[in-house]
Amino acid sequence: MAITTARIRPYLIAVAAMLVIWQGFAAILDTETLPGPFAVLTAFTISMKGPMASHFLRSSYRVLISLVLALITAVPLGIYMGRSSRADAFLSPVVYLVYPVPKIAFLPLILLLLGIGDNSKVFLISFILFFQILVTTRDAAREIPREYILSMRSLGANRWQKAAHLVLPAVLPKVLTALRIGIGTAIAVLFFVESFATNTGLGYFILDAWSRLNYREMYAGIVGMGLLGVILYEIVEFTDRTLCRWTKL
């Protein structure tokens, strides 16, 4: 993955601005509950050489698996609903009924059925992301002009060729947009599911440090969770630049 100066510069500016603001608040409040950024970055470096590294890897695994599961289930179904009025008429009411319900409410039931291991956490995160990606994919598939479909049909394209060379490329940019939005949701849900009934993950690390009044480690865990979000976002950006080059012309 090529990293250019132009790509890094905005991050450096944003980080510098945040460090200045953070240091200002820390100096004004002058309390142990808000240590300065350099103390936290020192704690982050030390923690990543110790126990936090395994928590970071565990959280990364949970989020990545959840994103992949949501994609491979929601995208095909969304395309099917968007291109089939009969399927959409049957399935859309189900989506409209389930989508607004806060999925966090199902967590006790999910824990009972799948246990307190990774399965329940991955299922809940992917369950929430599924509907975000599904609705976006369905709407994108609906918006494909009928003339494009007719043109490919006149050229003798079969159903799979139309899906591979027209429908999927047409919906991919919006799927990636939904994925960008979903990353923020996934990180938020990750913290929630790792905040109890587990002893692994960044969510656990943050709350454990908080319970021990070790505020530097707590903020180090928050920095780690933010770093995970940035890495995932950059992966999506790289995918977008690689697979959707025509949108950048």
H-state helical runs in the chain: 5-29, 37-48, 52-83, 85-98, 107-114, 118-142, 146-154, 159-162, 168-193, 202-211, 215-243
Nearest to 201 by CA among 235, 228, 181: 228
Please report the pLDDT score of residue 248 as a whole number. Answer: 64
Q: Kindly report the number of other CB atoms within 10 A of residue 186's CB atom.
A: 25
Query: So what's the pLDDT on residue 106?
Result: 84
pLDDT at 5: 65
pLDDT confidence bin for 40, thresholds 50/70/90? very high
Neighbour-count burial of 134, counting CB atoms closer than 10 A to its CB (0-12 exposed, 13-18 middle, 19+ buried): buried
pLDDT tier, 1 (very low <50, low <70, confident <90, very high otherwise): very low
The pTM of the whole model exceeds 0.85:
yes
CB atoms within 10 A of CB 77: 17
pLDDT at 249: 56
| CATH code of the domain occupying 38-248 | 1.10.3720.10
Percent of the chain whose predicted confidence (pLDDT) is above 90: 62
Mean pLDDT of 78-82: 93
* Per-residue pLDDT at 86: 92
What would the two tokens of residue 49 be?
């050489």
**What value does the mean pLDDT take over residues 114-127?**
91
Position 135 pLDDT exceeds 90: yes
Residue 35 predicted with pLDDT over 80? yes
Between 149 and 119, where is the model more confident? Answer: 119
Using 50, 70 and 90 to split pLDDT, how confident is the model at 198? confident
How far, CA to CA in Å, does 128 sit from each of 66, 149, 195?
Answer: 9, 32, 18
Q: What is the mean pLDDT of residues 235-249?
A: 83
What mean pLDDT is reported for the chain?
90
